[in-house]
């Protein structure tokens, strides 16, 4: 059975890759492409926009009007836009895959409530490699324990609007959970001035924004005499887009619930 995919943020950096990935993957096809009201791409063909040739899918700005034309919405936009799409999918009973980062705790709470009624995949990073790293981080934190200083370093392109990245925060959460810490209490975001000595129970975050870096994350576990670093480097957005399309195909027909990429990839015990 073919899963019909709607893509929100179709003209964006991720949106164009999502159109290509949904078009090229077996068992999925892009049938709806959404952009912001007034966006210059409205009315243009989504396939032409993505560089894969005409698909007969014009970019539009009204999700509800196309409710019958898709099975799963993939949304990589902005937190407030994502929440509006979550509410719309709830109203029409459609599944949604969310890649947008930077959601507030309140927005995440609303998402969790809606996921009681519709299937939702929500993950800050859809790549197989990052999700493997999350497993490795859990193991590293448990083995190295409180004997090491832990720092999360991430680098992204100059257009990224949220910091630290959703992936860096998830990495920090995984490490904190493994060590029985609460990330909200132990996170330190950047340092300046006379900081005093480092408290070993903190988890530090450093953010780089520069040029066209697609996405790089390193978690450093630094002890006396040795250090372990777990690094992931994305060199193409297709790695995220392919994961999101895989998640959409996996989600179609699932029961309501809040899932993540670890569920999609079968990485949960
Ligand atoms: N989970 C993952 O694997 C990944 C997540 N991301 C996240 O995805 C999000 C988007 O990233 P980019 O594509 O780089 O941003 P972008 O700014 O290039 O694209 C966002 C698009 O959403 C559109 N948009 C705004 N309002 C809209 C509306 N009402 N309806 C439909 N579309 C609307 C914008 O016009 C824009 O084209 C960010 O939060 C980023 O962190 C990015 C890459 C991978
Ligand atoms: O904005 C991006 O580009 C990315 N955002 C995600 C994040 O915030 O973790 C994932 C990826 O690293 C690219």
pLDDT for res 110: 98
Residues 242 and 149 in one domain: no
pLDDT greater than 80 at residue 269: no
pLDDT greater than 80 at residue 70: yes
Active site residue 24: no
Q: Domain with 176 in it: what CATH number?
A: 3.30.360.10
Nearest residue to 96 (alpha-carbon basis) of 225, 9, 171? 9
Residues 12 and 112 in one domain: yes
Report whether residue 243 contacts ligand 2, using a CB cutoff of 6 Å.
Answer: no
Residues 52 and 153 in one domain: no
Q: Using CB atoms within 10 Å of the CB of residue 266, give its burial: 0 to 12 exposed, 13 to 18 middle, 19+ buried.
A: exposed
Q: Using CB atoms within 10 Å of the CB of residue 257, give its burial: 0 to 12 exposed, 13 to 18 middle, 19+ buried.
A: middle
Residues 141 and 89 in one domain: no
E strand intervals along 166-268? 187-189, 203-209, 215-222, 227-234, 257-259
17: containing domain: 3-122+237-265
Rounded mean pLDDT, 162-173: 98
Q: Whose CA is nearest to atom 2 of ligand 2?
A: 160
Residues 199 and 88 in one domain: no
Residues 257 and 230 in one domain: no
> Cα(237) to centroid of ligand 2, in Å?
9
> Cα(123) to centroid of ligand 2, in Å?
10
User: b/e string for 218-227 if b means 16 or more Cβ within 10 A?
Assistant: bbbbeeeeee
Report whether residue 24 contacts ligand 1, using a CB cutoff of 6 Å.
Answer: no
pLDDT for res 166: 98
Structural tokens at position 18? 């999502």
* pLDDT per position as a tens digit, 239-249: 999 999 999 99
pLDDT above 90 as % of the chain: 99
φ/ψ (deg, to 5) at 234: -90, 130
pLDDT greater than 90 at residue 221: yes
Rounded mean pLDDT, 171-186: 98
Report whether residue 34 contacts ligand 1, using a CB cutoff of 6 Å.
Answer: yes
Rounded mean pLDDT, 30-51: 98
Residues 111 and 199 in one domain: no
Q: Whose CA is nearest to atom 3 of ligand 1?
A: 125
Active site residue 233: no
Q: Domain with 114 in it: what CATH number?
A: 3.40.50.720
pLDDT greater than 80 at residue 98: yes
Residues 107 and 172 in one domain: no
Rounded mean pLDDT, 153-165: 98
pLDDT for res 152: 98
Token pair 């870096």 in the structure block, residue:
213
Number of compact structural domains in the chain: 2
Residues 173 and 218 in one domain: yes
pLDDT for res 103: 98
> Residue 30: pLDDT band by 50, 70, 90 thresholds?
very high
Residues 247 and 186 in one domain: no
Nearest residue to 206 (alpha-carbon basis) of 240, 172, 161, 158? 172
pLDDT greater than 80 at residue 78: yes
pLDDT for res 1: 86
Residues 164 and 190 in one domain: yes
Residues 133 and 213 in one domain: yes
* pLDDT per position as a tens digit, 114-147: 999 999 999 999 999 999 999 999 999 999 999 9
pLDDT for res 114: 98
Rounded mean pLDDT, 22-31: 98
Greater pLDDT, 209 or 1: 209
Q: Could you give the CA distance from residue 1 to residue 208 in angstroms, rounded to a whole number?
A: 43
- Average of per-residue pLDDT values in the chain: 97
The alpha carbon of 161 is separated from its chain's Cα centroid by a whole number of angstroms, namely 14
Rounded mean pLDDT, 142-158: 97
């Amino acid at each position: 059975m073919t899963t019909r995919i709607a893509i929100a943020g179709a003209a964006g950096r991720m949106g164009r890759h999502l159109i290509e990935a949904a078009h090229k993957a077996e068992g999925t096809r892009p049938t709806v492409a959404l952009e912001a009201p007034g966006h210059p791409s409205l009315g243009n063909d989504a396939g032409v926009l993505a560089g894969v040739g005409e698909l007969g899918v014009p970019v539009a700005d009204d999700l509800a009007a196309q409710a019958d034309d898709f099975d799963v919405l993939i949304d990589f936009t902005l937190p407030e836009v994502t929440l509006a799409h979550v509410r719309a999918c709830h109203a029409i009973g459609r599944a949604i895959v969310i890649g947008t980062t930077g959601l507030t705790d309140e927005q995440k709470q609303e998402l969790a409530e809606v996921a009681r009624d519709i299937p939702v995949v929500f993950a800050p990073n859809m790549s197989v490699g990052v999700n493997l790293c999350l497993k490795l981080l859990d193991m590293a934190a448990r083995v190295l324990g409180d004997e090491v200083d832990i720092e999360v370093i991430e680098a992204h392109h100059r257009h990224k609007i949220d910091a630290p990245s959703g992936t860096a925060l998830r990495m920090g959460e995984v490490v904190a959970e493994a060590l029985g810490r609460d990330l909200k209490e132990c996170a330190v975001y950047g340092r300046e001035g006379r900081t005093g000595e480092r408290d070993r129970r903190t988890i530090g975050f450093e953010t780089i924004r520069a040029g066209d870096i697609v996405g790089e994350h390193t978690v450093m576990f630094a002890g006396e005499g040795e250090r372990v670093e777990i690094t992931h480097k994305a060199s193409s957005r297709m790695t995220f887009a392919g994961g999101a399309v895989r998640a959409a195909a996996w989600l179609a027909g699932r029961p309501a619930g809040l899932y993540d990429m670890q569920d999609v990839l079968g990485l949960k015990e």
